[in-house]
Structure 1
Amino acid sequence: MAGASKFIGSEIYRGSSYGPRHPLRVPRVSTVMDLSRALGWLPASDFIPSPRAKPKALEVWHTPRYLAALQAAEAAQEVSAQVRARHNIGTPANPVFPEIFRRPATAAGGSLLAGELLAHPGVVYNPAGGTHHGFPDRAGGFCYLNDPVLAMLSLRRQGVRRIAYVDIDAHHPDGVEHGFAGDAEMRMISVHEDGLWPRTGALEDHAGGSAFNLPVPPGLNDTEMAMICDTLIVPLVEEFKPDAVVLQCGADAMDEDPQSHLSLSNNAHIAVLDALRPLAPRLLVLGGGGYNPWSVGRLWTRVWGRLAGYDDPDRLPPEAEAVLRALTFEGNSRGRNPPEHWFTTLKDAPRQGPIREELSTRIETLLKRSRSG
């Protein structure tokens, strides 16, 4: 049976690309929408078209000058050297592309709307969200706007005070940490690959008391992630007693992703989602990183199915299988001979392994800090 969860999406993501060589050349949100509909999981009653945020709404965190630069870049399809240096747009990571303002403004509009919808208890899914590297005056890490920050500011405007932000993307959410550093009613918990760009989020970095950063070693497996969830994430969230949980569910921590060196199956993400869901009356789930079109589409569709109350099929029906078989991954070796299960299933085989002592030691360090206040 489907629940009362709401899926925020848009057709702007279909065919929109950062460029033929950029990691975000692959379709992601459109694949999730297509797969969910092929499975019968996305009736019109559960789908909300994402509004595009107007510049004035974005000024709650982003600077007017930066927003004007993004709009000018979209109109001209180029930027000056001065704009590039000041705002970090027009770079290889954050290129000028046809929808450089409209696309992130749509993702941000969805997250702003999610905050409004969660004035009352509920569940909202915005897979286009999770752009956690954006700063008030500059882009970073493929992120032009910071929709997680905007979502949480939107929640605050609805009177939702205590927010737990959990980020399981392979990359540290430097923009979110910047946005809420020292905020006593915000608790950020980030699990990210040690040494991976942006090379922030050290174990000892607590952002004025609001952040718990766990850098994890390459090769992180499902067994280790289960321990992190059970011994760190859940206790820290329970202790905080949040009014809302925001989960950034980046898909780049999975084994097949070309941008990180972690080894999770999509079961690890689902387990974190399941553990967090009962811990607050409001849940917002965002997307984030993820650069293998099959692993992103399969995970984020599983996330929606879980939120909406559907069970994973043992084998995908032909209509859903056709969505996955139509994907391509040009320019990457993982796309040359994709395994059959990427076409026929949503659920990965578990990727279990030993628990490394260095990880246990880091978790204990964070728990000691929590106990000491």
Structure 2
Amino acid sequence: MRVPRVSTVLDLSRALGWLPPDRFRVSPRAKPAALATWHTPDYLAALEAAERAGAVDPPTRDRHGLGTASNPVFPEMFRRPATGAGASLLAGEMLAGGGRIHNPGGGTHHGMPDRANGFCYLNDAVLGILSLRRNGAPRVAYVDIDAHHMDGVEHAFAENPDVLLISTHEERRWPFTGHLHDAGLGEVFNLPLPRGLNDDEMALARDRLILPAVEAFAPDAIVLQCGADAVEEDPLSRLSLSNNAHLDMLRALLPLAPRFLLLGGGGYNPWSVGRLWTGAWAVLSGQDIPDRLPPEAEQVLRGLRFDGNSRGRNPPDHWFTALRDTARLGPVKPEVTDRVASLSARIGAIPGRWL
């Protein structure tokens, strides 16, 4: 989590002239009362206390998952996630009249009501959906293309028929949830995908499952969790997408609802995360992505370091000079076709909006 992600997106967007002052808002830090719309007061108090003390006792660690290898104690362990959550809460209010918002510091989809989980201390995705629904968008479609399953968001809304949940994620990867036929009383579509997933396979899932399901649901708002850990260069997954798969997914979903909230998520290679999420901001805000980055933007990427992983020792030149990857095309594996078809058969049962 030391990877510079949001700062890289902001620096790149500004270097490209895509982020004038009137399109940028500093995220407020959400107060415990706002966070308690989903998180428990006891957990929020424990999270604040852990930040103040710089440590947790064994009972707190056992109850709330704080101070573990995947949820370590660090100096801003309440303030930083509360700021990311504040952005998603504010986005729900700002989108009351329609529009598009990017919160690259969001997408912390593993957080649970009473526990930290998978580097996620708060669940801004859940809080953003709740904020959208309070502010005039009762039907929300949540699409998650992170390499990891959206376990916290599913925990929140699996029984809610007014929230459509769709997750594509690598099979047999932590948190080891989101199996093909898992479903609640609401509208839940989990698509576990094999290692080596390519752009053509993701396009099949997009065109035959995700877009038809969202269209049938007819949402008032769409939330897209755009985790960058599903691309080839990420060190924590074994999927092989180019960033074009994410940008094409975003472009296809945009026309399907009047309100759109784009979240960040996973991503542990600073070049692939920064390039992908900056490209996503270009799509969201109507910018043309150049084939070759100007010197100011290239300088941002050349200033990054990734010493903790072998992929950062000899970065290829296109990590500095272009936002778009070369497409990673390939054959569609039979198991991908079969799984998409299995879930697609359920689309006709999605209750559409009463007009």
Is TM (by shorter chain) over 0.5?
yes
State the shift of 1:369 in Å: 2.3
Distance in 2 between residues matched to 1:191 and 1:184, nearest whole Å: 20
2:276 is matched with which residue?
299
Distance in 2 between residues matched to 1:304 and 1:103, nearest whole Å: 22
State the one-letter code of the partner of 2:290: P
1:28 is matched with which residue?
5
State the shift of 1:367 in Å: 1.4
After superposition, the C-alpha distances for 1:61-94 in whole angstroms (9 at most, x for unaligned) are: 0011100111111111110011111111111111
1:118 is matched with which residue?
95
1:101 is matched with which residue?
78
1:289 is matched with which residue?
266
The counterpart of 2:236, out of the listed 223, 244, 259, is 259
User: Are 2:61 and 1:84 equivalent residues in the alignment?
Assistant: yes
State the shift of 1:370 in Å: 2.6
User: Are 2:24 and 1:40 equivalent residues in the alignment?
Assistant: no
After superposition, the C-alpha distances for 1:149-188 in whole angstroms (9 at most, x for unaligned) are: 0001101111211110000000000000000011111100
The counterpart of 2:205, out of the listed 215, 218, 228, is 228
Distance in 2 between residues matched to 1:331 and 1:165, nearest whole Å: 33
Normalising by structure 1, we get a TM-score of: 0.93
1:133 is matched with which residue?
110
Q: Secondary structure at the match of 2:108?
A: coil
Normalising by structure 2, we get a TM-score of: 0.98
Distance in 1 between residues matched to 2:40 and 2:115, nearest whole Å: 9
2:353 is matched with which residue?
none
State the one-letter code of the partner of 2:329: Q
State the one-letter code of the partner of 1:215: P
2:293 is matched with which residue?
316
Count of residue pairs brought into register by the alignment: 350
Q: Secondary structure at the match of 2:224?
A: strand
User: Are 2:303 and 1:326 equivalent residues in the alignment?
Assistant: yes
2:28 is matched with which residue?
51
| Kept after mapping to 1: 8 A contact 2:164/2:187 | yes
Distance in 1 between residues matched to 2:187 and 2:38, nearest whole Å: 18
TM alignment of 1:189-208, pairs within 5 A? 189-208=166-185
After superposition, the C-alpha distances for 1:276-313 in whole angstroms (9 at most, x for unaligned) are: 00001110000000000000000000001111111111
Q: Secondary structure at the match of 2:25?
A: strand
Distance in 1 between residues matched to 2:184 and 2:251, nearest whole Å: 27
2:337 is matched with which residue?
360
State the shift of 1:209 in Å: 3.2
1:171 is matched with which residue?
148
1:343 is matched with which residue?
320
1:70 is matched with which residue?
47
State the shift of 1:51 in Å: 0.3
Distance in 1 between residues matched to 2:138 and 2:79, nearest whole Å: 30
State the one-letter code of the partner of 2:234: D
CA-atom RMSD, angstroms?
0.8
State the one-letter code of the partner of 2:300: V
Sequence identity (%): 66
2:139 is matched with which residue?
162
State the one-letter code of the partner of 2:127: L
State the one-letter code of the partner of 2:258: P
2:128 is matched with which residue?
151
State the one-letter code of the partner of 2:42: R
After superposition, the C-alpha distances for 1:303-329 in whole angstroms (9 at most, x for unaligned) are: 011111111111111111111111000
The counterpart of 1:214, out of the listed 191, 204, 213, is 191
State the shift of 1:207 in Å: 2.1
Q: Secondary structure at the match of 1:164?
A: strand
| Kept after mapping to 1: 8 A contact 2:199/2:328 | yes
State the shift of 1:372 in Å: 4.7
State the one-letter code of the partner of 1:83: T
Q: Secondary structure at the match of 1:305?
A: helix
Which segments of 5 or more consecutive residues in structure 1 lack a partner in the other structure? 1-23
| Kept after mapping to 1: 8 A contact 2:163/2:186 | no
Q: Secondary structure at the match of 1:212?
A: strand
Distance in 1 between residues matched to 2:282 and 2:346, nearest whole Å: 36
